[in-house]
Structure 1
Amino acid sequence: MDDLETLALRIARIEDERAIIRLQTAYGYYVDKTQWDEAADLFARDATLEIAARGLYRGQERIRAYLKCLPSLAEGTLFNHMQLQPLITIDGDRAWGRWRAIMEVTITGQVDMVGEATYENAYVREDGVWKIARLQCFVTHYADRRAGLAEGAIPMGTVLSEFPPDAPQTTDYASFPSVYVPPYHFANPVTGRMWQERS
């Protein structure tokens, strides 16, 4: 492979990474504003979605229907969903990404929560466009802001009785005060070793 071919591949890889970051960032902005159709349009046809302990939803249209069960943006509500620390791994037309989300959820007179979650997502190039193939959101902390991060810790969301999932959650874990580190999709960039959960 000559220098021009190598450079072209490197540029393509950078463009793919930028497209995936843009895709996931757009998801966060749409979730902020409860624009559920726009968010659902980012998913591949046979994608899966798994948030907290609500179970697994399979297929773009099931994901769309699930999202529409969530609260709507209205006066007195705030849903901020800040996605940080992207680490993207690309292999041809498939990719994986890890993100951290900082969340603020306020419904005046009812809810005043802050939270943290880790995403371990998969992406696929479908019809020439990068899309979300698997969204898996591990909610590691939710708290009532008024009571404080420790004393105000509350359980993460569970199955929606009005819209049951297609399958149970694939990972059994609990949020703070429990400790859970979602497995990394990538090897240590220096040692090349995969992290193993300590028992």
Structure 2
Amino acid sequence: MPTTEELLARIERLEARAQGAEDYRDLVNLQGAYGYYVDKGLWDKAADLFATEGTLEIAGRGVYVGRERVRAYLRHLPPYGHGTLYNHMQLQPVLHIDSEAGTARGRWRTLMMVGWLGKEGRWGEATYENSYVRENGKWRIASLHGVINFYCEYDEGWHRGGVKLLRSIDGLAPDRPPSIEYEAFPEPVIAPFHYDEV
């Protein structure tokens, strides 16, 4: 028969595993929700998923610091409406979670279909290297870093090259410079990994 101490230790291990599973689910839902909100131009809802001091860095445009600066960045993106396609699918998660500390790191792939009726249509793909923090009992995005691997015109395909990255947002300067300098396909780019092995 196991001792009381052994049973208590087993319960603690099971509780830790259950917490880890719940955290994994919550983080997948958090990142998925971000993608769905961006799909439909729900910029305020997307910004609300960030921690108070959360950061956003996309396409080498620099780092925007704080939830309200993230909100300002997102509101500078084109509005969702008739003839707009802005799909951002969040795929292939690799998550490392410290439930006790309330922190996590995650790597994702986003596949994008972006376009405006009668103007342009593009495929895109990026790697997200993100961090998360539990804030007021809820997981929030502490940093979102989207490294664009390619953009291309849908009717030309990537075999003819890619679209150059837009390096700035009109009327909204970043708070910090980009953390890495790169160009997307056809140039090779590998987003830094938060892990060496899984």
In structure 2, the partner of 1:15 is 22
Code of the aligned partner of 1:16: D
Distance in 2 between residues matched to 1:122 and 1:188, nearest whole Å: 17
Structure 1 contact 143–150 (Cα < 8 Å) conserved: no
Partner of 1:2, secondary structure, is helix
In 1, distance between residues paired with 2:166 and 2:16?
A: 42
Give the conservation status (yes or no) of the 8 Å contact 1:146–1:152.
Answer: no
Cα distance in 2 between the residues matched to 1:161 and 1:107:
19
1:152-191 aligned within 5 A: 152-189=161-198
Contact 2:132–2:140 (8 Å) recurs in 1: yes
Structure-to-structure mapping, 1:1-199, within 5 angstroms: 2-91=9-98, 92-189=101-198
Q: Is the 8 A contact 2:161 2:185 kept in 1?
A: no
Q: Deviations over 1:27-80 (max 9, x none)?
A: 000000000000000000001100002111000001101100000111111111
Amino acid at match of 2:145: Q
Of 160-169 and 99-108, more deviation after overlay is shown by: 160-169
Aligned residue identity for 1:34: G
Give the Cα–Cα distance (whole angstroms) in 2 for the partners of residues 136 and 44 of structure 1. 14
Gaps of at least 5 residues in structure 2 are 1-7
CA-CA distance at 1:152 after TM superposition: 4.6
Task: Tell me how far apart the structure 2 counterparts of residues 41 and 188 of structure 1 sit (CA, whole Å).
Answer: 32
TM-score by length of 2: 0.93
Question: Given that residues 59 and 147 in structure 2 are in contact (C-alpha distance below 8 angstroms), is that contact kept between their aligned partners in structure 1?
Answer: yes
Q: Distance in 2 between matches of 1:157 and 1:34?
A: 19
Residue 119 of structure 1 aligns to a residue whose secondary structure is: strand
Are the aligned partners of 2:161 and 2:186 in contact in 1 as well (CA < 8 Å)? Answer: no
Q: Which has the higher helix share?
A: 2
The one-letter code matched in structure 1 to 2:150 is: H
Shift of 1:8: 0.5
Who wins on radius of gyration, i.e. which is larger?
2
Following superposition, which runs of at least 4 residues in structure 1 exceed 6 angstroms of deviation? Answer: none
- Cα RMSD (Å): 1.0
**Whole-angstrom distance in 2 between the partners of 1:182 and 1:44:** 23
- Give the length in aligned residue pairs: 189
Distance in 2 (alpha carbons) for counterparts of 1:99 and 1:127 = 25
* Alpha-carbon displacement from aligned partner over 1:111-160 (angstroms, at most 9, x marks no partner): 11001100000000011110000000000100011111121511122111
CA distance in 2, matches of 1:107, 1:174: 24
Greater shift after overlay, 90-99 or 33-42? 90-99
What secondary structure sits across from 2:158 in the alignment? coil
SS in 2 for 1:175: coil
